[in-house]
Amino acid sequence: MGLNREGGREGLFLLFATGCYISYIPVRILGKKKWSGAGLFGTIAAVPFWLLLPTEPWRYAVVLAAAIVAAVWVCGRAQKALGGHDDPRIVLDEVVGLWTALAFLPRTLPVLGMGFLFFRLLDSVKLPPYSWIDRVPGGIGIVGDDIGAAVIANLLVRLCLAYWPGLA
């Protein structure tokens, strides 16, 4: 689906919310299911952009906060265009989720791998208390549960690094 089919500004929101429609690939193959694989595609798409984020902690924090606020707004608008809560084609929440899972950690391949795996696992199983945020309507519910999973993933990576500092 392109901008013309979705129409004007709503099409632009869908473009960003779906990772330039990358999330449509698994949804077309597997159907519009909760576990279509679209979230995995969105998380993979987040990696190269994470590498471009600032390395200074305060700049990273500013960019991450702005990205989360923008994601809440964009995902809320995309949800209205797609209908239904937390449509699997919306993957911008996975992008800011991965960035949160990796926030203020060393930029090494083991850290990226751990953050990626912990985030995907925790985002998929939706444990309380962050699973409750998913019930909030609109963009806050869509993005909020991913941020909750990402914070726990970040803490788990830190725990691993505390026990195995050589991974950093």
pLDDT value, residue 144: 96
> Quick one: average pLDDT of 140-155?
96
pLDDT value, residue 5: 47
Q: How far apart are CA 153 and CA 156, in angstroms?
A: 5
Cis ω before 129 (30° cut-off from 0) = yes
| Structure tokens given for 73 | 């707004």
pLDDT reading at 130 higher than 90 = no
How does residue 35 score in pLDDT terms, banded at 50, 70 and 90? low
- Residue 113 vs residue 85, higher pLDDT: 113
Sorted by sequence, the CB contacts under 8 Å of residue 9 that are 6+ apart come out as none
Identify which of 36-50, 75-89, 98-112 has the greatest average pLDDT.
Answer: 98-112
Sorted by sequence, the CB contacts under 8 Å of residue 3 that are 6+ apart come out as 11, 12, 15
Low-confidence winner among 19-28, 58-67, 125-134 (lowest mean pLDDT): 19-28
pTM as predicted: 0.88
Q: How far apart are CA 138 and CA 84, in angstroms?
A: 10
Q: Where in the chain are the domains?
A: 3-167
